[in-house]
Amino acid sequence: MTGLIHSRRRFMVLSSATLAAAPWLASCASAEGGAAIPAKAIGMPWPNWGELPDSPPPEPQEGSVGFAVMGLGGYAIGKVLPALANGQRCHVAAVVSGNPEKAKKVAAAYGLPEDAIYSYEDFDRIADDDRVEAVYNVLPTGLHMAWTEKSFAAGKHVMCEKPMALSSEECARMIAASEAAGKKLMIGYRCHFEPFNLRAMELMRDGAVGQIRTIETAQQYRMGPTDVSENWRVVRALAGGGPLEDYGLYGLQSALYLSGEMPVAVKAVTEQPANDPRFAEIFSSVTTELRFPSGATAHLYTSYNDSPPSNLARVEGEAGVLLMDPATGYDGQKMTLTRDGVSQDLVPGDPNVQFARMCDHMAAAIRDGSEILTPGEMGLRDIALIEAIYRSAAEGREITL
């Protein structure tokens, strides 16, 4: 609860000071094709997220959908590749990377032949590779649109990592490219496949806490020393505004799928400390209030500059409280439902299944023609809301949606 109280106080103080956001993406340079992007900046300066397998995975099942993984950063190596290898209906069929040495090492670990290794320069030849039916785009956000369009032009389906793109216009282009190609587009919103969040959605639909009054979320940590030459997440042209698109998007999504509503108004405040190389181009924190048609409100806080780390969601209703802390991590989720003064810890499943389930969901949509749970339209919706949040902060007023 400390982080939530902290975020509310911060919003009141900053609102009274009428801090205005820097113009949203005003200086954002084109990242088409990845040109002029320092390789060091695209690297993932994070702790080790996982090792490569000691031996290649077993042969894929008949009818399994082959994915090319584009971008071999920490998340791709630690989460995406194992998820595809562990899925029931999908497998790793190729890798796409600008680092030949890394690409060869990853390909060998997953039993891929040399002709299943693609660079960005020769990516177009993937159009003739029948082993690959889909591309999982795990590049920095500023490269999502260009390489998603290239993937559709090559005749492949696309799973695009969140956030979908830098702007709603880019999202619309990606959706149009999907429709023109007649191929599927899915956004990698893993929490929609994670047992704790799925159970929380179900509880809210069933009225477990009664009429919802408030939703509070906090996603924060203190980013270590870095600058735009080292970390793509602090480069505006690659990451957008910063923590909101990256970490805070989980809080925004939580507010929407727990309330079951779309907001009618938004009010927000941003911070961007001076003379801090981490925040030369991006915001350090974003505080947001959402108003929903039912009268419920959501208070969202996200930051790259706060300790201790926090990742929680709390729903207070007229009949009880649901607390998830941690709420949207890769693992370690905890959930407590309190009604009539009695608290119950709920353990609906293993959070680690979210990655393989997400990839299998995409494979099922491709193979069976089933509906995608997290389509491009959802990604567009969220980016449009983020744009409204930044507009509210820049103009110092509530924005009616």
Query: Catalytic residues, which ones?
Result: 162, 250
Amino acid at 123: F
Which value, to the nearest 10 degrees, does the dihedral of the CA atoms of residues 136, 334, 255, 381 take? 0
- Identify the CA nearest to 227 among candidates 275, 182, 184, 259: 275
Largest CA distance in the chain: 62
In the block, tokens 């779309």 appear at 262
Cis before 326 (ω within 30): yes
In the block, tokens 């959706």 appear at 175
Contact between 246 and 239 (Cβ < 8 Å) = yes
Which value, to the nearest 10 degrees, does the dihedral of the CA atoms of residues 194, 199, 204, 205 take? 100
The alpha-carbon radius of gyration of the chain (Å, integer) is 21
- Identify the CA nearest to 148 among candidates 111, 113, 117, 188: 188
Compute CA 324 distance to the chain's CA centroid, rounded to the nearest angstrom: 18
> Rounded CA gap, 136 and 96, in Å?
10
> Rounded CA gap, 115 and 101, in Å?
14
Contact between 20 and 272 (Cβ < 8 Å) = no
> Rounded CA gap, 296 and 242, in Å?
27
Tokens, residue 58: 């077993």
